[in-house]
Amino acid sequence: MSESEINHRIDRLHGGQFRTTRWSVVQAAGRNDSPSAAEALSVLCESYWYPLYSYLRRRGTKAEEAADLTQGFFARLLDKHDLADADREKGRFRAFLLTALKHYVSNEADRERAEKRGGRQTILSLDVEAAEGRFAIEPADERTPEDEFSRNWAMITMERAMERVREDYRRSNRMELFERLAPCMTHAQETTYRTLAEELDMNETAFKVAVHRVRKRFRECLRREIAETLTDAGEIEEELRDLFEALGS
């Protein structure tokens, strides 16, 4: 199943809640060998590898070893026996992921067995150089590795939601409008509205309406990004609170 097909399934609603999410599909990998589960897992891992890499670096792991551990960890996740532990009581993908990584890193014997059976195969294209550049500019404060993981999860979730909105505007050939609206999506910039409107040959009122619409769309996309990593849509609001708390920490 392609990513677009997975997205289509995610978009289907039933009773006000998502009928299926990427995380739900991944959990099913513990019970079968569905290709859709591997595809969904790959998409999720592409989003989460940097928060996990940064977590390891924050713990003092050297860059090369952190990259190796991250690759090995994701390779091991493809083992259906590991995914079988992702039961529905562990409803949040990020919580499962961090707990599983801690277990993986602490168990040297498991890592050695993974190497012997080819578990360190490259399954994701990790741009370690870019990751190190990003890690180098992160604040050198007293945040715990867990706090840093949460902060990076929040930032990447916001970035992915932003990318969803950008794609909407790209498909409708409104990228110039999007570029002007983007700075207004997550915080108010009332004093610049007139200038931005003039650049687009719009009146200020029309531009404010466009800002309202893009912010609404961004909130919708942010909720969808979060929903894809949950098994219960009722947890979206709590995850949103955690996200903004992590960004503010």
Residue 136 burial by Cβ neighbours in a 10 Å radius (0-12, 13-18, 19+): exposed
Q: pLDDT tens, position by position, for the chain (249 residues)? A: 344 443 444 344 333 344 467 777 666 655 556 666 677 777 777 788 899 999 999 999 998 888 888 888 887 776 655 665 555 545 688 888 898 888 888 875 455 555 544 445 555 667 777 778 778 777 777 789 999 999 999 999 999 999 999 999 999 999 999 998 988 876 655 567 888 888 889 999 999 999 999 999 999 999 999 998 888 878 899 999 999 999 886
| Site of tokens 């609170």 | 241
Query: ∠ CA(223), CA(229), CA(230), 5° rounding?
Result: 85
CB 98 within 8 A of CB 92: no
Neighbours of 84 (CB within 10 A): 12
C-alpha 238 chain-centroid distance = 16
Say which amino acid occupies 170.
R
Strands (E), 9-117: 13-14, 17-18
Beta bridge partners of 18: 13
pLDDT for the residue numbered 111: 55
Report the predicted TM-score, pTM, of the whole model to 2 decimal places: 0.76
d(CA 124, CA 80): 18
Going from N- to C-terminal start, the domains of the chain cover 3-248
Nearest to 3 by CA among 52, 38, 29, 40: 40
